[in-house]
Structure formats: C-alpha cells, structure tokens
Amino acid sequence: MIRLDHINKGWGEKKVLTDISATFYQGKCNFVIGASGSGKSVLMKCMVGLLEVDSGVIQYGGKDFVSLDYEQKKEIRKEIGMLFQGTALFDSLNVEDNVAFPLRMFTKLTPSEIIERVNFCLKRVSLDNVNKLFPSAISGGMKKRVGIARAIALNPKYLFCDEPNSGLDPLTSRVIDELIMEITKEYNITTIINTHDMKSLFEMGENIVFIYKGRKEWEGRREDIRSSGNEQLLKFMKASEF
C-alpha cells in the first residue's frame, strides 16, 4: 500500500500539486486521472522519487520515502517497476538484455537462470522469439509488453504505469490493460495507472483519484463516479464521452 499525506510540489511561485492526500491499495488497479497539465505526471514522478516534494509524506508500506537518504531510497526503488509512456527501453540493448538488465544489476543469478527468468517474463506478456530483436525493430504494442516484462522481472511490490495505452490502437490497448490487470492480481502488486483512457478506467479501475489543477478533487470507486456529484469530474467524464 502507498499513502500520500499532504503532498505539495511547485516551482518558484507556481504550485503544481497542492495538499494531495490519497491511498493506493495492494492488489488493486489504482487510477490517477485528470486533464493534461493537472499534475498527474508530476505526482507520479514525486511518488517514485524522480522529483522531490516540497512537503508531505509518501509512505511505502509504512516507510516514509521522502525522509529516506539516497541509499535507502534505492532499496525501495528496487521494489518498484515502472512502465513509461514512451516505454524507455534501452536502445543499445536487445529485448533479452533489456529484461535481463535489472536481474544482472541486482541479483546473484547465474547467466542461465537470468535467461530462464527473462524467457518466463517475456512469455508472461505473450512475447515469443523476440529476444534478440532491438527496440527499434518491434512495434509500439510489443515495446509496451517488453516494458512490462522488464518492470516485473524483479517481482516488484509496486507497479507504476504512465499512460500505458498512449499511441496504441484500441485492440492493443485492451490487451495491455488486461495484462496489467492480470499481473496486478497474480502477484498482488500495488498498481498505479496514470491515464486519460476512460475505457481502461471503467474496465479495470478499482480505486480512482481525480486531480484537477493540482488538487485532489475526488477519490473513490469507479461505481461511484457517476454519482459523485463532483462537477469537474463529471465534466471530465462528459468530455471523454462516458
């Protein structure tokens, strides 16, 4: 479980996140939604430690991530898997080496054990015979799958997905959604998904945080969205044709 308490973040006079508190639950697909520029990505970057918050507490299983030093943060980061919007696969490494990367860096597995684990992860995301291909030679959907395979290679406790469906056709989007959902349940991971895709939200969103102009406007279950009475959330839904 991840808990945010009164998170504030800004640059100079400009406040990007104001007093955000929320809880993201283990074994659930937690969604962060909001319009472009609302602060979703900044919130996610703060949560994984790519940006430092101005004030507030981020708790990973009870540990305050903000107050930890660099080495202690590194230990928590090893429990985090992240699927980037642009996949962020290493261009110079082939698919196999991309997935093997965290295993080579942080485990004492033998080369044959690493390959075995890589093949297991690739199979889990339904990829076969792509081990020796470079990221430039595979499609957007396959890149996302490789990104997921890399993210789950170390059996993470937390999975962050930044716009997992961006740039994908509707069919591939659904496949990726299903995959994220299956992995969340299978490994009992705390999954946080940052998205605009309302179809994904209504199919797999279990806990939803809606952000508007850097503030948390609403938090709840997907079943309660339509009856939330929150004007901004309903406007956002209407604009998304839901």
Partner 1 sequence: MKFFEFIGQYVLFLRGLFSRPEKFRVFKKQLMLEMENIGLGSFGIVSLISTFTGAVSTIQIGYQLVSGLVPEYLIGRIVRDSNILEFSPTVTCLVLAGKVGSSIASEIGTMKVTEQVDALEIMGVNSANYLVLPKIFAGLFTIPLLVIYAMFLSLLGGALSGMMSGIINLDFFVKGLRADFIPFSVTFSMIKAFTFAFIITSVSSFHGYKTEGGALEVGQSSTKAVVYSCMGIIFFDYIISELFLKR
Closest CA to 160 of 29, 71, 60, 68: 29
Give the integer Cα–Cα distance in Å for 210 and 237. 11
Stretches 4-12, 43-51, 54-62, 125-133: which one binds partner 1 (CB under 8 A)?
A: 43-51
Q: How many residues bind partner 1 (CB under 8 A)?
A: 22
Q: Say if CB 2 and CB 65 are below 8 A apart.
A: no
80: contact with partner 1 by CB under 8 A? yes
As measured in angstroms, the least distance from the Cβ of 191 to partner 1 is 15
Residues 6+ apart with CB under 8 A from 224: none
What is the residue whose two structure tokens read 């991530």?
65
Element (H, E) at 66: none
Nearer of residues 89 and 211 to partner 1, judged by Cβ:
89
Nearer of residues 13 and 91 to partner 1, judged by Cβ:
91
Task: For residue 15, list its beta bridge partners.
Answer: 10
Nearer of residues 61 and 102 to partner 1, judged by Cβ:
102
Closest CA to 163 of 201, 191, 197, 207: 197
Give the integer Cα–Cα distance in Å for 152 and 99. 9
CB atoms within 10 A of CB 72: 12
Distances 39 to 30, 43, 108 between C-alpha atoms, Å: 16, 6, 39
Stretches 46-54, 163-171, 185-193, 206-214: which one binds partner 1 (CB under 8 A)?
A: 46-54
Stretches 7-15, 69-77, 124-132, 194-202: which one binds partner 1 (CB under 8 A)?
A: 69-77
| CA-atom Rg of the chain in angstroms | 18
As measured in angstroms, the least distance from the Cβ of 80 to partner 1 is 6
155: contact with partner 1 by CB under 8 A? no
49: contact with partner 1 by CB under 8 A? yes
> Running DSSP on this structure, what letter comes out for residue 61?
T
25: contact with partner 1 by CB under 8 A? no
75: contact with partner 1 by CB under 8 A? yes
Stretches 30-38, 70-78, 126-134, 202-210: which one binds partner 1 (CB under 8 A)?
A: 70-78
Stretches 4-12, 32-40, 72-80, 193-201: which one binds partner 1 (CB under 8 A)?
A: 72-80
Nearer of residues 30 and 87 to partner 1, judged by Cβ:
87
110: contact with partner 1 by CB under 8 A? no
Q: Which residues bind partner 1 (CB under 8 A)?
A: 48-50, 74-75, 77-78, 80, 82, 84-86, 88-91, 101-102, 104-106, 160
